Amino acid sequence: MAKKLYVGNLSYNTTEDSLRNLFSEFGNVASAKIIFDRETGNSKGFGFIEMSTDDEASAAIQGTNGREFEGRQLRVNEAMDKPRRDRGGSGGGYSNGW
């Protein structure tokens, strides 16, 4: 089963490909995702990696947490499974009862 990792303190110039390449040193990367601000389109400085196995995830945490990458010291740990918040809204505008 894939294990999701939180990767924090990313450079704002880090790409999903460069993140995938870094973590591929430790095994098969099932997915790599950097989180971007909806308003500005800029990186928020963190992302998520999914490693294929628990052993690969453990090796990736050990090998990257505290490591310098693209000028920043990474923070890597197991991601918490939190349900996504419903941000409400219906896509814009307002309802006046019509």
Share of residues in the chain with pLDDT > 90 (%)? 79
CA distance 15 to 92: 30
Asked whether the predicted pLDDT for residue 23 surpasses 70, the reply is yes
Predicted structure pTM score = 0.81
CA distance 68 to 78: 19
The reported pLDDT for the residue numbered 32 is 97
Helix (H) or strand (E) holding 18: helix 16-23
The reported pLDDT for the residue numbered 28 is 97
Please state, rounded to an integer, the average pLDDT across all residues of the chain.
Answer: 89
Q: Which residue has the tokens 């990257």?
A: 64
Q: Where are the beta strands (DSSP E) in the chain?
A: 3-8, 29-36, 43-51, 68-69, 72-73, 75-78
Average pLDDT, integer, range 62-76: 97
